[in-house]
Chains A and B, each alone.
Chain A
Amino acid sequence: MIEVNGLVKTFGKTKALDGLSCKINDGCLYGLVGSNGAGKSTLLRLLSGIYKADSGSISYDGKPVYDNPEVKNDIVFIADDLYFASLSSMESMAKLYKALYKSFDMKRFKDLAELFRLNTKANISTFSKGMKRQAAMILGLAARPKYLFFDETFDGLDPVMRNLVKKVIYNDAAERGTTVIISSHSLRELEDTCDQLALLHRGGIVLESDVQDLKTSLFKVQTAFSEPFGREKFEGIDIKEYTQRGSVAVFIARGDRDAALAAIREMKPLVLDSLPLNLEEVFVYELAALGYTFDDVPL
């Protein structure tokens, strides 16, 4: 288990993380989402032992990570800005990984390279952006780490590759209990991939929850009445956003969905539907509750 307590990290005058705490269980597919500058990349680098926290602690089953090769041997971090040795091929990078990571599996590397149809002998500098990301993922996955961190790595992958990567990650998580942390701007990606989600804002986690639970905390209702009505008709329901066109109203509310639906049913509506909310909508409203407007959210 990864335990983070009161993590603070400052860059000059900018506080990137401000007392962040969380617990990530083994085998979890953990999504990190947040606005630009929320601290996602910083958190991942701290978790990888690249950065040293100004205060607070990070431990992996009770052991610190910073400058600790024993713990770092089980961690692979795939950054948004990838690095490959100059004039290297995937094969030469694999040899480097093999020399550095005890559990690097050359057979798995070759199998994954074949699966993704990448030429392991070609110079990586000739690869496209997406191919480089695939190469980085293959090297990371072949290292068979216990903890695998992706920092906006899925960007730049085409949908087919994205699904392929997800499948491989799921298999790893299922077979070996790999803990995967993925940061992304794309909530749709995290929605499909992760089972835990953390929402970062201004250096702290404002929302951390099971993905399914997150989706059910807010709900969307579409309803219509024969007589004229307004928002006041739904007094008692904690409505976050309300739109009405003619006799059809759509609103997003927080609270007990079943109770709200029951209350509306008693009003004898012509139409009453409970619509699914995607994570993007949840994200928008949760941030709005924190004073973040929709226009500021780069989705």
Chain B
Amino acid sequence: MNKYFSLSLYKEGLKRVRGVGIASALIVIVGNLIVPLGEWAGHIYFESEVVSEVKAVEALPLCYVMALLAPVIVLRMFSFLNSRSASDFYHAIPQKRICLYLCFAAAAVTWTVGITVVCGASSLIAWNLVPFKHLSLGTAARCVFSQTALALLTSGCALLGAAVAGNVFSAIFASAAVFGMPVLLINSFGNLIDEFYPAFCYEKSVFYYCGSKGFLPVTSTEDFYNPKGLPVIAAYVAFLLLAALAAYAFVKRKSETAEHSTCTPVLQHLLRLSAAFPIWLLVITLVLDGDYLEVIPFVLVSLIVYLVYELITVRGIKNAVKVLPLFLILPVFSAAFAAGAYGCTAVMRANDPKSVDDVSYVIIEGNAGSIVNIPLYEIQGECLTDPEVISAITCGLKFKAKSPEDEYSYDSPVYYYGNSGVQLKVALKNGKVLYRDSFPYGLYSKQLCEAFKNQPALYKKLFTLPEYGKVKIDVPKEAWELYRKEYEKLSDDDKLRVLLDEVSSDRVIYVYFEDEQGFYSRESYYSVHEGLFPETYKFLEEYYGDYKEE
């Protein structure tokens, strides 16, 4: 008898979830075939002569659903842990516990991987049958690889959730908590730091790489098309870690946990607190904003959630009342959480340069915010050494500049420009390199222009409009070229006014910036003032007819 694996038990596992497995397969595989089918049907009416490549994001759109169905397969597989009779049966069979776990876990993984692979294969065939569409094997394989990673990640969370819980509700909640709490905590901590210190460059921080984009790639679907593959690899590693942890929990688990909430009282406390904690993140934000009275309903809601969780899982009002004092852990933890975030900002501020003289150079690495700062977009990557330029661009960091006029606080009235800030790499003369977000009000000011005039090539770039094709523009090429031509004729002052969005108009042109994965995640816009851009305005009037931007 093999100590760790039994083929018959594995086959029993495959049979155990065949209902859920077949239903999942139908949903995912058939659902994914609808898109190429629709494309094929559309081709009947709209012929194209150009063969277009199917992008990764289009190839298997419904495969994401496996990330939701995979844990259902796992929870169904291990549902015997929630029933006393079934738990007794499976714990009585002559197999080691680890063998039982490995066989059933392997069976669940087989279903999950099998469905995603079949989904990928069927979509590959279907897309390549659509005229003038081509899905490469490499793209399809990459999609299957990454979608399987996400499905296995959620499976791993469900394995751990099932191993520690004793009823269906607790198993589902524990699985969700394993999946969501680490990301929630990391992202919330990073956001709090950002709240305390807006110059904090989240996207260059350890929180970004440990949270959304790195080792816990669960908040953004485009993460899984990252060419670097880090989120995908991280998901596979996370699955293995979670599965190993679940194996340990399963072997150590007391059989009598079945039909109870969790295997230990400590875990029950943790899950109960996890249910109510997300509401306290709102409480923290309200307290920081000084809305003390508005905190009260949220605290009450969190208390209700806390008690209801206990009532549902343990089913006893006495038990719910008994755990009431432990609710106080939440405000204490929340305060410590916020204090920890504030402590981090204190460290950052201590590292910030005290004056421009401490700075060696500054490079604009990217945008901070969803709105692209167009002029600075054009000078990304340039090494800026001029002290006046550094002062102007970094004024959002509260540097002490050479004159009082240069000092702008990020809590100034123009903080709304916060959506069009820049990510800076600040190299200090002491050798340290900092990453900060800057939201400089004085960006387009005459002072900045004066500063850049010392560097004519950069100065010219500031006022350059992007070329059609380099970005996605929502008007015809003709209109954009007309706009650029009219823009070049403007004085520097008028150009500044346009870039500063100081000329309002009922017509605007939207510009979209495409990232590496083909998503248009950032945008900007240009006002088409009738006085400054008469020809463009006229063109758009004829093009759009009566439609005008409000």
Pairwise interchain contact A85-B95, C-beta atoms closer than 8 A: no
What separation, in Å, do the CA atoms of A253 and B459 have in the docked complex? 116
- Residues on A with C-beta less than 8 A from B80 are 83
- Residues on B with C-beta less than 8 A from A70 are 1, 94
Q: Does residue B272 face the partner (Cβ distance < 8 Å to A)? A: no
Contact pick for A82, options B8, B85, B256, CB 8 Å: B85
What separation, in Å, do the CA atoms of A50 and B99 have in the docked complex? 15
Q: A79 with B85: in contact, given A52-B254, A69-B96, A100-B9 (CB under 8 Å)?
A: yes
- Residues on A with C-beta less than 8 A from B85 are 79, 81-83
Nearest CB on B from A107, distance (A): 19
Nearest CB on B from A71, distance (A): 8
Q: Does residue A234 face the partner (Cβ distance < 8 Å to B)? A: no
Q: Does residue A15 face the partner (Cβ distance < 8 Å to B)? A: no
Chain A 40-82, CB-CB to B under 8 Å as 1, else 0, gives 0000010011111000000000000001011011011101011
Nearest CB on A from B194, distance (A): 45
Q: Does residue A96 face the partner (Cβ distance < 8 Å to B)? A: yes
Pairwise interchain contact B8-A99, C-beta atoms closer than 8 A: yes
Q: In the complex, which residues 9-41 of chain B have their Cβ closer than 8 Å to any Cβ of chain A?
A: 9, 11-12, 16
Nearest CB on B from A148, distance (A): 12
- Residues on A with C-beta less than 8 A from B91 are 49-50
Count how many pairs of residues, one from A and one from B, have CB atoms less than 8 Å apart in the complex.
68
Chain B 74-98, CB-CB to A under 8 Å as 1, else 0, gives 0000001001111111011111110
- Residues on A with C-beta less than 8 A from B16 are 85-86
Q: Does residue B255 face the partner (Cβ distance < 8 Å to A)? A: yes
Pairwise interchain contact B1-A69, C-beta atoms closer than 8 A: yes
Pairwise interchain contact A83-B83, C-beta atoms closer than 8 A: yes
What separation, in Å, do the CA atoms of A99 and B95 have in the docked complex? 11
Q: Does residue A150 face the partner (Cβ distance < 8 Å to B)? A: no
Pairwise interchain contact A51-B92, C-beta atoms closer than 8 A: no
Q: A100 with B88: in contact, given A51-B256, A83-B83 (CB under 8 Å)?
A: no
Chain A 78-107, CB-CB to B under 8 Å as 1, else 0, gives 010111011000000000100111100000
What separation, in Å, do the CA atoms of A86 and B76 have in the docked complex? 12
Pairwise interchain contact B12-A72, C-beta atoms closer than 8 A: no
Pairwise interchain contact B9-A51, C-beta atoms closer than 8 A: no
- Residues on A with C-beta less than 8 A from B83 are 83
Pairwise interchain contact A45-B255, C-beta atoms closer than 8 A: yes
- Residues on B with C-beta less than 8 A from A67 are 96-97, 251
> Which residue of chain B has the shortest Cβ distance to A69 in the bound complex?
B94
- Residues on B with C-beta less than 8 A from A96 are 8, 12
Pairwise interchain contact A50-B92, C-beta atoms closer than 8 A: yes
Pairwise interchain contact A83-B94, C-beta atoms closer than 8 A: no
What separation, in Å, do the CA atoms of A107 and B89 have in the docked complex? 23
Mostly helix, strand, loop or mixed at chain A's interface? loop
- Residues on B with C-beta less than 8 A from A86 are 16
Q: A72 with B94: in contact, given A52-B254, A99-B9, A100-B9 (CB under 8 Å)?
A: yes
Pairwise interchain contact B97-A72, C-beta atoms closer than 8 A: no
- Residues on B with C-beta less than 8 A from A50 are 87-88, 91-92, 255
Pairwise interchain contact A101-B94, C-beta atoms closer than 8 A: yes
Pairwise interchain contact B95-A69, C-beta atoms closer than 8 A: yes
Q: In the complex, which residues 241-273 of chain B have their Cβ closer than 8 Å to any Cβ of chain A?
A: 251, 254-256
- Residues on A with C-beta less than 8 A from B6 are 99
Most buried by B among A82, A85, A100: A100
> Which residue of chain B has the shortest Cβ distance to A48 in the bound complex?
B92
What separation, in Å, do the CA atoms of A11 and B97 have in the docked complex? 21
What separation, in Å, do the CA atoms of A41 and B88 have in the docked complex? 11
Nearest CB on B from A239, distance (A): 44
Nearest CB on B from A69, distance (A): 4
> Which residue of chain A has the shortest Cβ distance to B89 in the bound complex?
A83
- Residues on B with C-beta less than 8 A from A76 are 92
> Which residue of chain B has the shortest Cβ distance to A77 in the bound complex?
B92
What separation, in Å, do the CA atoms of A75 and B88 have in the docked complex? 13
What separation, in Å, do the CA atoms of A76 and B94 have in the docked complex? 9
Pairwise interchain contact A49-B92, C-beta atoms closer than 8 A: yes
- Residues on B with C-beta less than 8 A from A79 are 85, 88-89
What separation, in Å, do the CA atoms of A169 and B95 have in the docked complex? 26
Pairwise interchain contact B88-A45, C-beta atoms closer than 8 A: yes
Most buried by A among B84, B86, B88, B99: B88
Contact pick for A77, options B1, B8, B88, B254, CB 8 Å: B88
Pairwise interchain contact A99-B12, C-beta atoms closer than 8 A: yes
Nearest CB on A from B59, distance (A): 36
Q: A11 with B256: in contact, given A79-B85, A99-B9 (CB under 8 Å)?
A: yes
Nearest CB on B from A11, distance (A): 6
Contact pick for B8, options A69, A85, A100, CB 8 Å: A100
- Residues on B with C-beta less than 8 A from A69 are 1, 94-96, 99
- Residues on B with C-beta less than 8 A from A82 are 85
- Residues on A with C-beta less than 8 A from B256 are 11, 51
What separation, in Å, do the CA atoms of A245 and B254 have in the docked complex? 57
- Residues on B with C-beta less than 8 A from A102 are 1, 94
> Which residue of chain B has the shortest Cβ distance to A54 in the bound complex?
B254
What separation, in Å, do the CA atoms of A72 and B100 have in the docked complex? 14
What separation, in Å, do the CA atoms of A101 and B255 have in the docked complex? 21
Chain B 215-249, CB-CB to A under 8 Å as 1, else 0, gives 00000000000000000000000000000000000
- Residues on A with C-beta less than 8 A from B94 are 69-70, 72-73, 75, 100-102
What separation, in Å, do the CA atoms of A75 and B99 have in the docked complex? 18
Q: In the complex, which residues 301-323 of chain B have their Cβ closer than 8 Å to any Cβ of chain A?
A: none
Pairwise interchain contact B93-A51, C-beta atoms closer than 8 A: no
> Which residue of chain B has the shortest Cβ distance to A143 in the bound complex?
B94
Nearest CB on A from B256, distance (A): 6
Pairwise interchain contact A83-B96, C-beta atoms closer than 8 A: no
Q: In the complex, which residues 30-74 of chain B have their Cβ closer than 8 Å to any Cβ of chain A?
A: none
Pairwise interchain contact B86-A51, C-beta atoms closer than 8 A: no
Nearest CB on A from B36, distance (A): 35
Most buried by A among B94, B96, B254: B94
> Which residue of chain B has the shortest Cβ distance to A149 in the bound complex?
B92
What separation, in Å, do the CA atoms of A85 and B17 have in the docked complex? 11
Pairwise interchain contact B9-A81, C-beta atoms closer than 8 A: no
Nearest CB on B from A16, distance (A): 10
17 contacts between A and B (CB under 8 A): A48-B88, A49-B91, A50-B87, A51-B254, A52-B254, A52-B255, A67-B251, A69-B94, A72-B95, A81-B84, A81-B85, A81-B88, A83-B80, A83-B88, A99-B8, A99-B12, A102-B94
Q: A72-B93, A102-B94 are in contact. List 16 more A-B contacts (CB 8 A).
A: A11-B256, A50-B88, A50-B92, A52-B255, A69-B95, A69-B96, A70-B1, A73-B94, A75-B94, A77-B88, A81-B88, A82-B85, A85-B16, A99-B6, A100-B8, A100-B95
Interface residues of A (CB under 8 A from B): 11, 45, 48-52, 67, 69-70, 72-73, 75-77, 79, 81-83, 85-86, 96, 99-102
A-B CB proximity, top 3 nearest: A99-B8, A73-B94, A83-B85
